[in-house]
Amino acid sequence: MSERVRRVLPHLVLLVITVLLYWEATQIDTSAAGEGHRIGPDFWPKAVLVIMGVLCAYEIVKRLVVKTTFTAPGLTGDLTRNPADAEARDATAADAPPAADVVVPAPPEQRWRLVAGIVLIGAFALGVDWLGFFVATALFLTTFMLIGGLRRPWLATLIGVAGSFVLIVIFMRVAYISLPLGAGPFRELSLALLRLLGVS
């Protein structure tokens, strides 16, 4: 994939989503608004989608067809740099691509960690109902710490299990928040833990 196509990819994806959502917006039931000239429930989302579509199309045309580096930064764009470095910045400003176009890729060794982190977060969301909060959290904490670069598995496991226990105490004993207990043996384990803590 060429660099230029890669740079327009986010706007291209957003444009496709915009078109699909606009089609979905045409399916909104507008009968409640009546037959007159009153605007219906589809007006607001359609208006937003039109603006979003135009903006995405503008960025795609600008980057692929006109090939200009023009980007209007927000009013605080310049303020986030040390004024003492302003001279050096001005000297390179004309040649440098706009900050909005610079996408810094994740370092290669971090990519698998990132993917693993995303998968783990998804697995936690899906698995907490079945595993219960205690087991799911202990597993999540341990694995996430290892993915994040903690090099001692035993320490990670200890923190994971102890941390999950402390969180159970804080949320269910102190803050009285009802958390998933799990299913089957995991439910039994959660109930035993709660009995131990005096929460029934």
Partner 1 sequence: MEVLTHLLGGVLTVLSPVNFMVLAIGLVLGMLVAVLPGLTLVMGVVLALPFTYKMGVGPALILLTAMYASGTYAGAITSILFRIPGEPMDVPLLWDGYEMTRKGQAARALGWSLAASFIGGIVSAVMMVAMAEPVARIALSFSSPEFFAVLFFGLISVVALSGDSVVNALVSLCLGLLIASVGVDSIYGSERFAFGQPFLLDGIEFLLVMVGAYGIGEVLTRLGTGFASTASAGDGQARFRTALPRWVEIVRMKYTLLRGTLTGVVVGIIPGAGATVSAFVAYGLESQYGANRKNLGTGAPEGIAVAKSAATASVGGALVPLLAMGIPGSGATAIILAAFLLHGIQPGPQVFVTSTGLVYTVFAAVFLSIIGMCILGYFAIKPLCKVLDAPEAIVSAFVVVFCFVGAFAARNSLSDLYVISVFGLIGYLAERFRFPIAPLVLGTILGPLAETNFMTMMVSFDNDWTVLFRRPISAVIMVLALAGLFWPVVRGALRHLRATRMHAERTR
Instruction: Considering only residues 92 through 131, tell me which ones interact with partner 1, judged by CB under 8 A.
Output: 93-95, 98-103, 106-107, 109-111, 113-114, 117-118, 121-122, 124-126, 128-129
38 part of the interface to partner 1, by CB under 8 A: yes
Q: Any contact of residue 33 with partner 1 (CB under 8 A)?
A: yes
**14 lies in the binding site for partner 1 (CB under 8 A):** yes
Contacts to partner 1 from residues 139-198, by CB under 8 A: 140-141, 144-145, 147-150, 159-160, 163, 167, 171, 175-180
CB of 196 to partner 1, least distance (A): 20
Residues binding partner 1: what is the number (CB under 8 A)?
A: 90
Binder to partner 1 among 70, 87, 198, 200 (CB under 8 A)?
A: 70
Q: How far is the CB of 64 from partner 1 (least distance, A)?
A: 15
Q: In the complex with partner 1, which residue's Cβ is closer, 54 or 196?
A: 54
Q: Compute the least distance from the CB of residue 32 to partner 1, in Å.
A: 4
Residues 101-108: contacts with CB within 8 Å, 24+ apart? 101/7, 101/63, 101/69, 101/71, 103/7
Smallest gap from residue 185 Cβ to partner 1 (A) = 20
Nearest to partner 1 of 17, 191 (CB atom): 17
DSSP string, the chain: --HHHHHHHHHHHHHHHHHHHHHHHHTS--GGG-SSS---TTHHHHHHHHHHHHHHHHHHIIIIII--------TTTGGGS-GGGHHHHHHHHTTSPPGGG---PPPHHHHHHHHHHHHHHHHHHHHHHHHHHHHHHHHHHHHHHHHTT---HHHHHHHHHHHHHHHHIIIIIIS-------STHHHHHHHHHHHHHT--
Find the binder of partner 1 among 1, 2, 32, 35 (CB under 8 A). Answer: 32
